Amino acid sequence: MKTRTKPLARMWEWQAEAACRGMDSSVFFSPAGERGRARRHREEAARAICDSCPVSGPCGRFALTSQQFYGVWGGYTEAERRSAVRVHPR
């Protein structure tokens, strides 16, 4: 019996519509040592972009399923994703 798999490119098609496409990644990923107010402000700026993004859902799901440990993905921070994984392990 032959198994059918999705072409790999299909898994990434959502990225073509991402509001962040082509942006500087420093908005979404913290520099070394960033904490407190600076981190919150950067994360808020990233979330604002994600809020208007037509593919924030697929982006957030990708980050959870592929266990992305860093950055803001789909409007979710690193801490929020870690918390979601602890509450709903695979």
Is 59 annotated to bind ligand?
A: yes
Is 63 annotated to bind ligand?
A: no
Q: In angstroms, rounded to a whole number, what is the distance separating the alpha carbons of residues 90 and 88?
A: 6
Is 11 annotated to bind ligand?
A: no
Instruction: Return the structure tokens found at 82.
Output: 């870690």
Is 20 annotated to bind ligand?
A: yes
Binding residues: 20, 50, 53, 59
Binding residues for [4Fe-4S] cluster: 20, 50, 53, 59
